[in-house]
Structure 1
Amino acid sequence: MSPLPSRPSRAERFYLAELAGEAERYEDVVAQIKDMMGSYNARLTIEERNLLCVAYKNMTNNLRNSWRIVDTLEQMQRIRDGDKRHLELTRIQRGRIETDLTNLCKEIVSLLEQKLIPAAKRGEESVFYSKMKGDYYRYLAEFSQTEDRDKYADSSLNAYKLAYKHALATLEPVHPTRLGLALNFSVFYHDVRKSPERACHLAKSAFDDAVMSLDTSDPDVGQNLRDSLMILQLLKDDLVLWATEMQDGD
């Protein structure tokens, strides 16, 4: 008789999560990481954290893309004044996607609030998770059609503000986590608050501060320089785009 299997070690659970990620079974990735947190502790390594984030990002991106497609089709049907039954069915489908996306975003936020943020170490880890919380509340605000939109937008703003305040106090201006936060926070102001002026101000401030400190000799900055340069390019692209929008509006 073969012996009963022992409880998988943390390393084995991580291997299973990696395997699920390679197979694009992102729900299994999340399940393995959650089991790992329950069996051991809620503080994740960078590798574990990245795997969890990629899994949630892929799941939410698929739903967000589906929502955009169906929402666009619904708007086109309204403009064309097409078949009312088709419009109703399209609206129902959009509602189903919204329900799935809402549940998934709330699941992530709950995991962050109850497990990941309380266990996070001060500094980059804390900033990363607070930024992530702001991101998923922003997603909820982007597609919500009800009075919940303002509630989600306020929650996103509060999470971003807390993360940014902490980032300014603990991270170098060129640190990729601080720059990524500035990028997403500025997108929040542009897309959710509809304030390109504030978005540009935040993005430009982060961009200028980082450029001024690019010559630092900090070894951690050197290791992360490639990520930082990529985010700086994204900030620059957004600044150019939003400046053009404001000029066109004027």
Structure 2
Amino acid sequence: MDKSELVQKAKLAEQAERYDDMAACMKRVTEQGCELSNEERNLLSVAYKNVVGARRSSWRVISSIEQKTEGSDRKQQMAREYREKIETELREICNDVLNLLDKYLVPNASQAESKVFYLKMKGDYFRYLAEVASGDDKKSNGSFSFSLKCVEVYGSPRCIKGDTNLKG
């Protein structure tokens, strides 16, 4: 399927509220390696925001149930296992988006507006990872170091000069 067909299919998936399909189409568009148009960029963002949003909402509900479950070890175990399943899905999706950002989107962004959009998106997906991380995972999954780097860069005069390179 060529790029225009994938974009059209993503639009259809959006209308049908089938965000997993929409994300799959836009992932394939992104993996073609070309810079995305504003419309394509927004389709990608909407798709993954909805895919992740559903899992984040599910995670919050199940986490609350798990914390409130008293007495029954079996019920608590079932809630924990289900929460862990959702966490795994959420991590996979977030890592998928972060890989697209690192491999294709940020490197191919020729305009500052696009680069800022993608870097904000990157921060959002690290935040989503951090929301479900526990203990030492919060520091080891990259979200902590990326957040520190953002504070360092955007709190410095480099930001005023338009330097959006967060790698160094």
Question: TM-score under structure 2 normalisation?
Answer: 0.84
Where structure 2 has 5 or more consecutive residues not aligned to the other structure, the ranges are: 163-168
Give the Cα separation in 2 of the matches to 1:128 and 1:159: 17
Give the Cα separation in 2 of the matches to 1:66 and 1:16: 27
Percent identical among aligned pairs is 38
What's 1:97 paired with?
A: 86
Give the Cα separation in 2 of the matches to 1:114 and 1:162: 23
Where structure 1 has 5 or more consecutive residues not aligned to the other structure, the ranges are: 1-6, 171-250
Question: Which secondary structure state, in structure 2, belongs to the residue aligned with residue 52 of structure 1?
Answer: helix
Give the Cα separation in 1 of the matches to 2:138 and 2:116: 24
What's 1:67 paired with?
A: 59
What's 1:24 paired with?
A: 17
Give the Cα separation in 1 of the matches to 2:153 and 2:114: 10
Decide whether the 8 Å contact of 2:58 with 2:86 is kept in 1.
yes
Alpha-carbon offset, residue 143 of structure 1: 1.2
What's 1:14 paired with?
A: 7
CA distance 1:155–1:22, shift in 2 (3 Å): farther
Q: After TM superposition, what 4+ stretches of structure 1 lie above 3 angstroms from structure 2?
A: 158-170
What per-residue deviation string (whole Å, max 9, x for no partner) do you get for residues 57-97 of structure 1? 001110001010111111112xxx32111111111111111
Decide whether the 8 Å contact of 1:124 with 1:167 is kept in 2.
no
How do residues 4-153 of structure 1 correspond to structure 2 at under 5 angstroms?
7-8=1-2, 10-39=3-32, 41-77=33-69, 81-152=70-141, 153=143
CA distance 1:28–1:167, shift in 2 (3 Å): farther
Alpha-carbon offset, residue 13 of structure 1: 2.4
Structure of greater relative contact order (alpha carbons < 8 Å, 6+ residues apart): 2
What per-residue deviation string (whole Å, max 9, x for no partner) do you get for residues 27-84 of structure 1? 2222222332344x3310010000110000001110001010111111112xxx3211
1:70 is matched by which residue type in structure 2? I
Give the Cα separation in 2 of the matches to 1:142 and 1:23: 29
Give the Cα separation in 1 of the matches to 2:31 and 2:65: 42
1:75 is matched by which residue type in structure 2? Q
Give the Cα separation in 1 of the matches to 2:120 and 2:54: 21
Decide whether the 8 Å contact of 2:31 with 2:104 is kept in 1.
no
Larger CA Rg, structure 1 vs 2 = 1
Give the Cα separation in 2 of the matches to 1:50 and 1:159: 26
Give the Cα separation in 2 of the matches to 1:73 and 1:106: 26
Question: TM-score under structure 1 normalisation?
Answer: 0.58
CA distance 1:46–1:132, shift in 2 (3 Å): same
Alpha-carbon offset, residue 155 of structure 1: 3.8
What's 2:166 paired with?
A: none
| Greater CA drift, 99-108 or 117-126 | 117-126
Aligned-residue RMSD, C-alpha: 2.3
Give the Cα separation in 2 of the matches to 1:112 and 1:155: 17
Equivalent pairs, count: 160
How do residues 195-214 of structure 1 correspond to structure 2 at under 5 angstroms?
none
